[in-house]
Amino acid sequence: MPDSLLDRRLGPILGAGEKAIEKAFGYRTAGELLAHYPRRYARRGELTALDELHVDESVTIVAEVRSVQERAMRQRKGSILEVSITDGRGFLTLTFFNQRWRTGELVPGARGIFAGKVGSYRGARQLAHPDYELFPPDADVPGLDGSARDWVEQPVPIYPATASVPSWKVAKAIGVILDLLPAELDDPVPDDVRTGRGLIGFAEALRLVHRPAVDADWRRAQDALRFQEAFVLQAGLLRQRAERRATGAAPRVPGKLSAEFEAHLPFPLTHDQLAVGAEIESDLAGEVPMNRLVQGEVGSGKTVVALRAMLAVADSGGQSAFLAPTEVLAGQHLRSLVAALGPDLAARLRPTLLTGQLPAADRRRAMLAAASGGASIVVGTHALLGDRVSFADLGLVVVDEQHRFGVDQREALRLKGVTGSGASPHVLVLTATPIPRTVAMTVFGDLDVSTIAELPAGRAAIESHVVALVDHPGWEDRIWQRLAEELAQGRQGFVVCPAIDAKTVEDDPDALAEPAAASGSAASGGAASGPVAPPAAVLPVLEQLRAMPALAGRRIEALHGRLSSDEKDATMRAFAAGDIDVLVATTVIEVGVDVPNASTMVILDADRFGVAQLHQLRGRVGRGSVPGLCLFVTRSEPGSVARERVDAVAGTLDGFALAQVDLELRREGDVLGADQSGGRSSLKLLRVVRDGDLIADARAAAEAVLDADPVLAGHPALLSALARRLDEQERAFLGKA
């Protein structure tokens, strides 16, 4: 039997109730269930604002029964019991079928907690067959004695729940475990660390978070448990980081190739590029694997910085793999690298393209060049991750636009460079707009971070405007007039749609779309109810634009993921050469496409894209001396989350500020798992937006403990907490992240 109550299985403790808990939440031990903390606290005397409930929302509410009515069903035998409940302002109907017996307890004036999914019947909101628990009938009448009044005012924990396991059933199951909880538990946070911060002990915190007598109780409990969570996670990150750094890496030092490249650069590097380059060179020269994130605004020159790193690796006889998210971008990166290197260096380094849509013969040649070491730089899409792809001496992995790749994909490429002795390649990650988890992991300090905020001289400004058709439907014609005005000045433009045709959202196999981005506007915070309009689509928009008198005579073509690799490449080359005036495209042009003469970006249904996507798309214009114009077209309602995203992007060109907005809108995602963002999070009480200072404090405390005791021999409770908190999959993730 496990030594700690926290490790005991739920079955012997809860009996038959254990299966429902495990099915609903996946919990198997007492410790896992005790860490299912309340999401809020209500009071038995308070009422919930019923007018703020939304259809299809699963709710737990405190309310009072106003009236009870029973009526016969029209189409079949039986009766319907309708119970009206109120918060004093709004009303909600509880509906029960053939359950007359409930009239004995659901009487006018009764108060309780009701849980269910909000539905709608004839325009009125209702809960069909809700679960409920009523408060004692004499709990809130005048003249209560002290103990009864305390009971009424005691906070009521409201737990994250499911339809089968409502909040009070969770509370009862947790109560069974709390009754077994010893007076003290071994605390993962050392006594001196905890007392120095005025935090209560672990066992007391668990009791008070689940059974508070007053609000101050659960607040003290949350303070202690939140710090403990940060401390344990930081200790896990630091231990894993130390293990990875102990594997070693081959030093890579710039030499003749790097010097030759520097001498022939046609433009001066910015101060930020030089500073970040120096940080990277220092990492590469060491015997510890680099794991560095370079954040840089769109067009700030991250690719040049990455190329200098690849040349340093080539100078030592090693290879670099450059992972790009799309075929279009991989091809463009290859052409850009060749152009930047010049004919002589390019001939010696043999930059090679490897993508999934290459002809079989070309693909075999590219794989041979990588495996033999003949290609010092291999640029590709997810095809680089294939089992048959190998390298002679992979010294550096560069991941462009890291939010477009999963952790497992990045790790698969890194493992191709692990040597027989266990030495790892260096890893360099590039991003223009950090997504929520990147910001979260940065706050957690898991990556070395460099920033390029300075833009090269001569870059034009970009004007951004929200075209809100829900407020101004007459503005639609003006969008295309404005595009025509830009074309009349000899410039070019993009029109971006979230779908290819009326039924097909972008399906480019290499376009690994940003998670939680391209959902319909209702689903992503747009319209509150009613049918969702189909997304704007490339093919119908293409025909619409070709038929417009304002664009008569203009060369308008399409680019999307259904085209072959050759078709996409030919279209992009024609656009870059000025042979196409307007490109109607999906997000295949989201990153890296560089056409200095393109001045205008029209994004249709902009509310269907994420913050990072919108910022990246806008970055396709204003890349030369021609001023940029970006029109975010949306039908989302003012005040919706979708509209907030669009307004935020239009309001600033600062990608780092937008990353913070994105984090606040979408949360940090599953910091210890595969989810990039969204509501699911393995964090319990921590929130990265709010708790950055606390996390930094916990990291400093964890560093001090590990510096003094690297194997934690004197901290068995922390070792147990790490084993409990970080399962095998999560420990593996920490190593990859």
Report whether pLDDT(90) > 90: no
Question: Do 632 and 505 sit in the same domain of this protein?
Answer: yes
pLDDT band at 374 (very low <50, low <70, confident <90, very high): very high
Task: Name the residue range of residue 395's domain.
Answer: 256-452
Domain boundary among 452, 477, 502: 452
Is 718 within the bounds of a domain? no
Phi, psi (5° rounding) for residue 431? -155, 140
Q: Are 582 and 545 in contact (CB under 8 A)?
A: yes
* Same-domain pairing of 337 and 406: yes
At 736, the pLDDT band (50, 70, 90 cuts) reads very low
Q: Are 498 and 607 in contact (CB under 8 A)?
A: no
d(CA 324, CA 590): 12
Q: What is the pLDDT of residues 225-245, one digit of tens each?
A: 999 999 998 898 888 778 777
Asked whether the predicted pLDDT for residue 679 surpasses 80, the reply is no
Structural domain contains residue 224: no
pLDDT of 604 over the 80 cut? yes
* Span 11-18, average pLDDT: 87
Q: Is residue 490 part of a domain?
A: yes
With cut-offs at 50, 70 and 90, classify the pLDDT of residue 169.
Answer: confident
109 lies in a domain? yes
Q: For the domain that residue 566 is a member of, what is the CATH number? A: 3.40.50.300
Mean pLDDT of the chain: 83
pLDDT value of residue 118: 85
Which pLDDT does position 527 carry in this prediction? 37
pLDDT of residue 443: 62
Identify whether 673 is part of a domain. Answer: no
Say what percent of the chain tops pLDDT 70: 84
95-104, 212-221, 665-674: which range is least confident on average? 665-674
- Domain identity same for 19 and 53: no
Residues 606 and 637 in one domain: yes
295 vs 272: CA distance, rounded Å: 11
Across residues 471-481, what is the average pLDDT?
91
The candidate with the shortest Cα–Cα distance to 63, out of 53, 80, 49, is: 49
Q: Look at 538 and 406; give whichever has higher pLDDT.
A: 538
395-454 residue pLDDT tens: 999 998 755 555 566 677 778 877 766 688 999 988 876 655 556 656 666 678 888 887
Q: Does residue 189 sit in the same domain as residue 121?
A: no
Same domain, 341 and 308: yes
User: Which of 653, 669, 702 is the last residue before a domain boundary?
Assistant: 653
Residue 555: which region, alpha, beta or left (left: phi > 0; alpha: psi -120 to 50)?
A: beta
Read off the pLDDT of each residue in 203-220 and give the average, rounded to a whole number: 96
Number of domains in the chain: 4
Task: Judge contact between 688 and 677, C-beta under 8 A.
Answer: no
pLDDT (mean) for 27-36:
93
Contact by Cβ (8 Å): 416, 360: no
In a domain, 82, yes or no: yes
Beta strands in 411-480 (DSSP E): 426-431, 448-452, 462-468
Shared domain check, 397 and 299: yes
For residues 499-508, average pLDDT: 67
533 and 606 share a domain? Answer: yes
For residues 110 and 134, the answer to whether their CB atoms sit within 8 Å is yes
- Are 419 and 277 within 8 A, CB to CB? no
Same domain, 427 and 525: no
DSSP string spanning 583-643?
Answer: EEE-GGGSSS---TTEEEEEETTGGGS-HHHHHHHHTTSS-SSSPEEEEEEE-PPTTSHHH
131 confidence band (pLDDT: 50, 70, 90): confident
Could you tell me the CA-to-CA distances from 262 to 255, 257, 307 in Å, in that order? 11, 9, 11
| Residue 64 host element (H or E) | strand 58-72
Mean pLDDT, residues 33-37 taken together: 94
- What is the pLDDT at residue 120? 83
Do 32 and 58 belong to one domain?
A: no
Q: Which two tokens stand for residue 59?
A: 């709710």
Specify if 708 maps to a domain.
Answer: no
Average pLDDT (715-721) is 93
Q: Is the pLDDT of residue 520 over 80?
A: no
The predicted model gives 20-43 an average pLDDT of 90
Report residue 524's pLDDT band, with 50, 70 and 90 as the boundaries.
very low
- Edge-first strand listing for the sheet containing 394-400: 352-354, 377-380, 319-323, 394-400, 426-431, 291-296, 448-452
User: If you write DSSP's letter for every residue of 51-63 in order, what string do you get?
Assistant: GG--TT-EEEEEE
Render pLDDT for 307-328 as a digit per residue (tens, 0 to 9).
Answer: 999 999 999 999 999 998 888 8
Distance CA 404, CA 687 (A): 24
Decide if pLDDT at 516 tops 90. no
CATH number at residue 70: 2.40.50.140
Q: How far apart are CA 400 and CA 90, in angstroms?
A: 52
Answer whether residue 728 shows pLDDT above 60: no
pLDDT for 603 beyond 50: yes
Is residue 233 in some structural domain? Answer: no
Question: Do 405 and 299 belong to one domain?
Answer: yes
Give residue-wise pLDDT tens across range 254-292.
Answer: 999 999 999 988 888 999 999 999 999 999 999 999 988
Supply the pLDDT for residue 521.
34
Under DSSP, is residue 354 helix (H, G, I), strand (E, B) or coil? strand
Tell me, yes or no, whether 353 and 500 share the same domain.
no
Of 603, 637, 653, the residue that ends a domain is 653
